């Protein structure tokens, strides 16, 4: 099939590459000339495991192309995927300016039947606005061309995006147009065994499903983070509790890890946007408001633990910080908890020596010229001359460290772990003080 993907970010590039991998002919369009140049030159502008191989393979055989030429891109695909960003507006609602601009681009250039597929995460009712935007452009040109607007939200996780796209738990298609449903079924047949993972529903339910999924996952995390605080007070270990409750299939084992708060480009903005949608319709989403508030607090927990151990005034102190990206296996710094931890430490006069396997460049951009932050080339180098180690992101290379080397490098034998990576007894056996999240058998936070 001929497919155009508008927006070549984490979602657009993965969508384009994976659809090409299945034999479709894909043109990816972006307004960011630098990004397109990198892709045309054989590079990948983001860190996403396994994506480079697929992109290169499909470019080589001519099934995947990159362009900034809107007219050529729109002319190419019968299916026009919109995968542009929907960042939060000032009031928390999703900013649809890029989605509507993409819709207008399609309307301004289309000359034959198109299925316009909203893959971006967009509030309920957006498909109607996309339809109006396309229609407006067609009217302006004095043209009548048939088209359908379909909702097909994306559920991939960064760091595992290729696997998630190629082997999806489900594909949601919201459509009220027979011809569009037929083509969407055909497009996704190769990704879903016997169609059992393809769910066709009405457009509004599909749009809502995406927010409901992220809101549910974020709720689990904030719930566990709040219980973690209580576990420290009552002398329990949240990791034991996690295992205990996760074995009940009604609860399940995934997304129950207490930590330094959830970040990324999706949970924070999507929870806010759903709360906002509720407000617009007079429905107060109390649970989600609390989820959001709990997460804002949680991002300060590591800073609080540092203060509890070293005091309010951190002038003259240096902290090694392992992990900058909002999660492992990505270079994405959007809403990363590390940004809050760093701000909490430098505000009190501390210096931070940070190390991340891939996100250093993005972190530099996200932090701007914050004084007191330097970047190390390795986890061990970040420890040199530091008072203590703070772990924010659970990259695999941090999971089994040389504890003796950590102890030797640090001025004080203190590890503050925001991801509960280690057995407390093991860390303590190496002569280190160990502070973790919700684990009373690690040294508890004094109040
Ligand atoms: N990142 C994820 O893991 C993820 C997963 C599922 C859904 N989503 C949703 O998918 C959407 C895209 O997210 P992302 O992380 O890929 O964003 P991104 O910021 O990485 O990429 C968006 C791209 O769209 C381009 N763009 C903006 N306006 C354009 C226009 N008018 N024409 C062409 N290109 C344009 C930008 O230059 C950018 O390259 C969002 O709605 C997001 O909520 C993201
Ligand atoms: O038990 C857990 C699981 C995750 N997190 C944190 O939650 C955030 C989000 O993690 P994850 O969901 O793995 O990454 P994303 O790439 O943001 O993916 C989410 O957001 C995407 C964009 O909407 C959706 O497509 C995915 O299904 C959804 O998982 C990260 O900061 C994680 O550290 C926890 O604190 N505890």
At 88-120, the pLDDT tens digits run 998 989 999 999 999 999 999 999 999 999 999
Q: Residue 375 — φ and ψ, nearest 5°?
A: -120, 130
Give residue 157 CA to ligand 2 midpoint distance, Å: 7
Contacts of 319 (CB under 8 A, 6+ apart): 306, 345, 350, 351, 352, 353, 386, 387, 388, 389, 390
Is 155 near ligand 2, meaning CB less than 6 Å away?
yes
304 labelled ligand-binding: no
Cβ(156) – ligand 1 distance below 6 Å: yes
Asked whether residue 219 is assigned to any structural domain, the reply reads no
For residues 342 and 440, give the distance between their C-alpha atoms in angstroms, rounded to a whole number. 25
Question: Do 260 and 332 sit in the same domain of this protein?
Answer: yes
Q: Are residues 74 and 191 in the same domain?
A: yes
- pTM (global) more than 0.90: yes
Q: Is 21 marked within a binding site?
A: no
Given a contact cutoff of 8 angstroms between Cβ atoms, the answer to whether 439 and 239 are in contact is: yes
- State if residue 121 touches ligand 2 by the CB under 6 angstroms criterion: yes
Report the nearest-CA residue for atom 33 of ligand 1. 30
327 CB within 6 A, ligand 2: yes
Say whether both 393 and 248 belong to one domain. Answer: yes
Report the 10 Å Cβ neighbour count for 204: 17
Ligand lying closest to the C-alpha of residue 253:
2
My answer on whether 143 and 270 are in the same domain is: no
428 is in an annotated binding site: no
Q: Give CA–CA dist 92/228, Å, rounded.
A: 28
Predicted-assembly ipTM surpassing the 0.90 threshold: yes
258 and 192: one domain?
no
**403 is known to lie in a ligand binding site:** no
- For 389: left if phi > 0, alpha if psi spans -120 to 50, otherwise beta; the answer is beta
State the distance from the centre of ligand 1 to the C-alpha of 192, rounded, in angstroms: 24
The verdict on whether 18 is a catalytic residue reads: no
Q: How far is the CA of 375 from the centre of ligand 2 (A)?
A: 25
In this structure, the answer to whether residues 149 and 250 fall within a common structural domain is no
Which residue among 201, 224, 247 closes a domain? Answer: 201
Q: Is the CB of 417 under 6 A from ligand 2?
A: no
- Residue by residue, DSSP assigns 221-262 as HHHHHHHHHHHHHHT-BHHHHHHHHHTSTTT-STT----S--
Which of 201, 216, 246 is at the close of a domain? 201
Same domain, 313 and 363: yes
225 domain residue, yes or no = no
pLDDT for res 442 = 67
Atom of ligand 1 nearest to the CA of 32: 37
- Report the domain count for the chain: 2
Q: CB under 8 Å to 337, separation ≥6 — which residues?
A: 259, 260, 261, 262, 263, 298, 299, 302, 326, 392, 418
230 is a domain residue: no
Q: Which ligand is nearest to the CA of 12?
A: 1
**Domain for residue 221, yes or no?**
no
Residues 177 and 259 occupy one common structural domain: no
Instruction: Report which ligand 1 atom has the smallest distance to the Cα of 157.
Output: 3
pLDDT value at position 447?
45
Would you say residue 284 lies in a domain? Answer: yes
Pocket of ligand 2 contains residue 375 by CB under 6 Å:
no
Q: Are 273 and 210 in contact (CB under 8 A)?
A: no
Task: Tell whether 288 and 377 lie within a shared domain.
Answer: yes
Whether residue 36 is found in the same domain as residue 148: yes
Structural domain includes residue 216: no
What's the domain range around 441?
Answer: 236-447
What whole-number distance in Å separates Cα of residue 65 and Cα of residue 28? 6
The Cα 26–Cα 442 span in angstroms is 52
pLDDT attached to residue 193: 66
- Locus of tokens 């695999």: 396
121 is in an annotated binding site: yes
HEC-encoded secondary structure of 17-28: HHHHHCCCEEEE
Indicate if 13 and 138 belong to the same structural domain.
yes
Helices marked H in 281-368 — which ranges?
A: 286-298, 301-310, 337-347, 360-367
Ranges in the chain, pLDDT < 70: 193-195, 442-447
How far apart are the CA of 176 and the centre of ligand 1, in A?
A: 25
Ligand 2 centroid from CA 264, angstroms? 7
Which residue has its alpha carbon closest to ligand 2 atom 12? Answer: 157
In this structure, what CATH number is given to the domain that contains residue 40?
3.40.50.720
Cβ neighbours of residue 97 under 8 Å, at least 6 residues apart? none
All residues at 6 or more sequence positions from 431 whose CB lies less than 8 Å from its CB, including other chains: 407, 413
Q: Is the CB of 10 under 6 A from ligand 1?
A: yes
Q: Identify whether residues 195 and 310 lie together within a single domain.
A: no
Dist. CA 200–CA 198, nearest whole Å: 6
Residue 402 lies in a domain: yes
Is residue 319 domain-resident?
yes
Rounded Cα distance, 124 and 383, in Å: 48
What is the 265 CA–ligand 1 centroid distance (Å)? 10
Q: Which of 174, 201, 228 is the last residue of a domain?
A: 201
**Residue of minimum CA distance from atom 28 in ligand 2:** 157
Catalytic residue among 266, 271, 367, 445: 266
Which of 327, 332, 337, 394 to mutate for ligand 2's pocket (most ligand atoms within 8 Å of CB)? Answer: 327
Distance from the CA of 262 to the center of ligand 2, in angstroms? 7
DSSP 285: -
């Amino acid at each position: 099939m001929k497919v155009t993907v508008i927006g070549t970010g984490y979602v657009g590039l993965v969508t384009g590459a994976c659809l090409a991998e299945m034999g479709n002919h894909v043109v990816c369009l972006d307004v960011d000339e630098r990004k397109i140049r990198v892709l045309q030159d054989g590079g990948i502008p983001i860190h996403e495991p396994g994506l480079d191989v697929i992109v290169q393979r499909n470019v080589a055989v001519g099934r995947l192309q990159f362009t900034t030429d809107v007219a050529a891109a729109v002319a190419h695909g019968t299916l026009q995927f919109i995968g542009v960003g929907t960042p939060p507006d000032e009031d928390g609602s999703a900013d649809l300016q890029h989605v509507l601009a993409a819709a207008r681009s399609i309307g301004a250039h289309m000359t034959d039947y198109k299925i316009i597929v909203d893959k971006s995460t967009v509030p309920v009712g957006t498909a109607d606005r996309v339809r109006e935007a396309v229609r407006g452009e067609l009217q302006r040109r004095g043209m009548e061309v048939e088209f359908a607007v379909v909702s097909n939200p994306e559920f991939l996780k960064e760091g595992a995006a290729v696997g998630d796209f190629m082997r999806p738990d489900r594909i949601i298609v919201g459509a009220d147009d027979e011809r569009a449903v037929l083509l969407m079924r055909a497009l996704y047949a190769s990704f879903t065994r016997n169609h059992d993972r393809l769910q066709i529903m009405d457009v509004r339910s599909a749009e809502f499903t995406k927010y409901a999924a992220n809101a549910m996952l974020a709720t689990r995390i904030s719930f566990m983070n709040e219980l973690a605080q209580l576990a420290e007070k009552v002398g329990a270990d949240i990791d034991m509790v996690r295992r205990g409750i996760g074995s009940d299939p009604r609860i399940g084992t995934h997304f129950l890890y207490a930590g330094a708060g959830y970040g990324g480009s999706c949970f924070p903005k999507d929870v806010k946007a759903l709360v906002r949608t509720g407000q617009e319709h007079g429905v107060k989403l109390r649970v989600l408001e609390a989820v959001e508030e709990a997460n804002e607090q949680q991002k300060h927990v590591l800073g609080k633990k540092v203060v509890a151990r070293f005091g309010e005034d951190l002038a003259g102190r240096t902290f090694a910080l392992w992990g900058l990206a909002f999660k492992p296996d990505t270079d994405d710094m959007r809403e990363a908890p590390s940004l809050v931890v760093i701000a909490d430490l430098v505000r009190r006069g501390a210096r931070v020596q940070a190390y991340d396997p891939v996100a250093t460049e993005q972190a530099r951009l996200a932090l701007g010229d914050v004084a007191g932050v330097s970047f190390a080339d390795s986890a061990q180098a970040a420890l040199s001359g530091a008072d203590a180690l703070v772990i924010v992101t659970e990259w695999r290379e941090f999971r089994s460290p040389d504890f003796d080397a950590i102890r030797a490098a640090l001025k004080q034998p203190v590890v503050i772990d925001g991801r509960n990576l280690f057995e407390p007894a093991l860390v303590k056996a190496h002569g280190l003080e160990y502070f973790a999240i919700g684990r009373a058998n690690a040294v508890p936070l004094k109040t």
